[in-house]
């Protein structure tokens, strides 16, 4: 399980240190791709394979399904955690997420989200005002 929030810095060579707690789940490989809400998603290889399989089965006849699969799959890149616990963020993903030096790494059960720190703070302020109304809707999902 991947949970927790950590603040790190992206180095000048676009390398990002992964929290020690998360490294073991990425030891067999990982995939980084465009996320939703302006962040990046980092998946352990096993979870990525499961998601990619589901994406490959989306109906080609539906425009939204094709578009979502393109965003997730075409934007994906295999990454390896180096001996110092870092991954390299490709330029196109760094630009997509508008990553500056200060980065937030958030564990969300089966994936890691990578956010520019300012974007994370802004998202958190917006979301905090909506939490109670969202909680009401979760009741329908059995939560």
- Model confidence over 9-48: pLDDT tens digits? 999 999 999 999 999 999 999 999 999 999 999 999 999 9
Domain ranges of the chain: 2-116
The pLDDT assigned to 1 comes to 85
User: How far apart (Å, rounded) are the C-alpha atoms in residues 108 and 36?
Assistant: 13
Q: Which helix (H) or strand (E) holds 123?
A: helix 117-128
* pLDDT at site 125: 74
pTM: 0.88
**CATH number listed for the domain at residues 2-116:** 3.40.1550.20
What pLDDT sits at residue 100?
A: 95
87-135 pLDDT tens trace: 999 999 999 999 999 999 999 999 999 999 999 998 887 666 676 676 6
| Residue 69: count of CB within 10 angstroms of its CB | 17
Tokens of 111: 């994936």
């Amino acid at each position: 399980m991947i949970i927790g929030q950590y603040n790190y810095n992206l180095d000048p060579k676009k390398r990002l240190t992964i929290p020690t707690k998360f490294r073991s789940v990425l030891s067999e490989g990982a995939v980084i791709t465009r996320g939703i809400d302006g962040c990046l998603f980092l998946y352990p290889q096993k979870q990525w394979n499961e998601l990619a399989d589901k994406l490959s089965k989306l109906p080609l006849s539906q425009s939204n399904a094709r578009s979502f699969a393109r965003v997730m799959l075409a934007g994906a890149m295999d990454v390896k955690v180096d001996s110092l616990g870092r991954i390299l963020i490709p330029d196109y993903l760094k630009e997509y997420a508008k990553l500056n030096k200060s980065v937030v790494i958030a564990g969300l059960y089966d994936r890691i989200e990578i956010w520019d720190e300012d974007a994370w703070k802004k998202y958190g302020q917006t979301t905090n005002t909506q939490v109670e109304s969202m909680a009401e809707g979760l009741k329908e999902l059995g939560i």
